[in-house]
Amino acid sequence: MKYENSIKFGSLSKLGFGAMRFPKKDNGEIDQQQVNAMIKAAYDAGVNYYDTAYVYGGGASEKALGEALKQFPRDSFFLADKHPFYNLKNNEQRDEFFNTSLERCGVDYFDFYLMYAVNRENAHGLLDYDMIKWADEKKKQGKIRFLGFSMHDTNDLLKELLALYDWDFVQIQYNYLDIDGEPGTAGYEELVKRNIPIIIMEPLKGGVLANIPEHLCKPFKDLGISNQEMAFRWIAGKQGIMTVLSGMSDMAQTTDNLNIFSDLKPLGEGELKAINQVRENIIGAQKVGCTGCGYCSGCPMGIDIPAAFKAWNTKAMNDRSNWISGTDIDADSISKCIACGKCASHCPQKIDIPEKLKELLAYYGK
């Protein structure tokens, strides 16, 4: 389960524990007891890379992960966090956000630190607030060991960012459904060419590649291999992949992932052919490439956009059934969309959300 890079990092687990989708209680609070058990199970199985961000759950993720990691010696795991530089209003807030993350996590340094979700619209903030120089100084102080960035944007932007600094690593979204997108395969290959270690996010595309309707994933079923295993093996075995993040939300997912990564095998020709077929099946059925990340939350009209898109995709990919649980939509709420574009500006998948909401209503005959 290890990624060997003794020059920079040491030995990292190929599976990384993402803290974006922690389990919650009925009252909406993170279930700390369950998180503690999940993190311990992962740690005991060899997982040593844990990832959170200042903005996850309004800080609740950092606090919950920090509490869970108190079970282990600090030098026995790698902790990754991210700076929301795009929310800065002055230079003083650079330290304010950073120190708040340290306090929430209960640590005095981060092993991996990222400029979070850089895109074309916010990239100027890196220069406006001299973020790279600021972060490099934190490295010299020992508060950051390795510096990188995460991004969901174009390969042109990727190359521009790579020209700014000698980054220790880069985090991108990549999975077998996103090969033709950006960064996609072209971005992945650019990083490999430059010998920059890669962290993978959304290997299951927000659960889409785990919860595939049976008639679409039949090639996997015929091989007797789970959807998750095929997706993880496709990405984890690629050159230059340092760690594959999975946002685990319950113990069952944690156990399943640990079992898959405990014995990763290269994909054979028949398995690769099956993946290509399933990819074509999904693309042909899916209506919108939403991962359910929730970055579009906060609609001024109160529309639950991720839930609406999930219902649409679920219905579309299960059209053989007359009734499917979870495909109801709140048409009255969606029809209130004023096309302000706030949601689309925050979407990592670059979805024209207002336009898609119109299409959704038409699909349902509303």
The arithmetic mean of pLDDT across residues 261-284, rounded, is: 95
Q: What's the confidence (pLDDT) of residue 365?
A: 78
Q: What's the confidence (pLDDT) of residue 1?
A: 65
Domain boundaries, the chain: 2-283, 305-363
The answer for residues whose C-beta is within 8 angstroms of residue 105's C-beta and 6 or more apart is 52, 62, 63, 65, 66, 69, 79, 81
Domain spanning 2-283, CATH architecture: Alpha-Beta Barrel (3.20)
Between 58 and 311, name the one with better pLDDT. 58
Q: Percentage of residues in the chain with pLDDT exceeding 70? A: 96
Of the listed ranges 5-9, 172-176, 277-281, the least confidently predicted one is 5-9
β-partners of residue 79 are 50
Placement of tokens 């109160």 in the chain: 302
Per residue in 41-89, pLDDT (tens digit) is 999 999 999 999 999 999 999 999 999 999 999 999 999 999 999 999 9
The arithmetic mean of pLDDT across residues 101-119, rounded, is: 97
3 falls in which pLDDT band (50, 70, 90)?
low
Alpha-carbon gap, residue 317 to 320, rounded angstroms: 8
φ and ψ of 110, to 5 deg: -110, 135
Of the listed ranges 188-197, 208-217, 232-241, 286-295, the least confidently predicted one is 286-295
Q: What's the confidence (pLDDT) of residue 329?
A: 80
- Ranges of beta strands (E only) in the chain are 2-5, 10-13, 15-18, 49-51, 78-83, 110-118, 144-151, 169-173, 198-201, 241-247
Alpha-carbon gap, residue 315 to 320, rounded angstroms: 9
16 falls in which pLDDT band (50, 70, 90)?
very high
Give the containing element (helix H, strand E) for 140.
Answer: helix 131-140
Alpha-carbon gap, residue 272 to 50, rounded angstroms: 30
φ and ψ of 73, to 5 deg: -60, 140
The answer on pLDDT for 208 being more than 90 is no
Look at phi and psi of residue 297 and say left if phi exceeds 0, alpha if psi is from -120 to 50, else beta.
beta
Burial grade of 44 (CB within 10 A; 0-12, 13-18, 19 or more):
exposed
Q: What's the confidence (pLDDT) of residue 318?
A: 73
Return the HEC string of 97-116: HHHHHHHHHCCCCEEEEEEE
Q: What's the confidence (pLDDT) of residue 7?
A: 47
| Mean pLDDT of all residues belonging to the chain | 92
Q: What's the confidence (pLDDT) of residue 8?
A: 72
Q: What's the confidence (pLDDT) of residue 323?
A: 40
364 falls in which pLDDT band (50, 70, 90)?
confident
Collapsing DSSP to helix, strand or coil, 38 comes out as helix
The string over 244-279, giving b where at least 16 C-beta atoms fall within 10 Å of a residue's C-beta and e elsewhere, is: bbbbbbeeebbebbbebbeebeebeeebeebbeebb
N-terminal to C-terminal alpha carbon distance within the chain: 49
Q: What's the confidence (pLDDT) of residue 349?
A: 82
319 falls in which pLDDT band (50, 70, 90)?
low
Give the containing element (helix H, strand E) for 96.
Answer: helix 92-105
Task: Name the nearest CA neighbour of 202 among 38, 51, 45, 87.
Answer: 51
Structure tokens at 265: 């095998």
Could you tell me if 280 and 255 are in contact, meaning their C-beta atoms sit under 8 angstroms apart? no
Kindly report the pTM of this predicted structure.
0.84
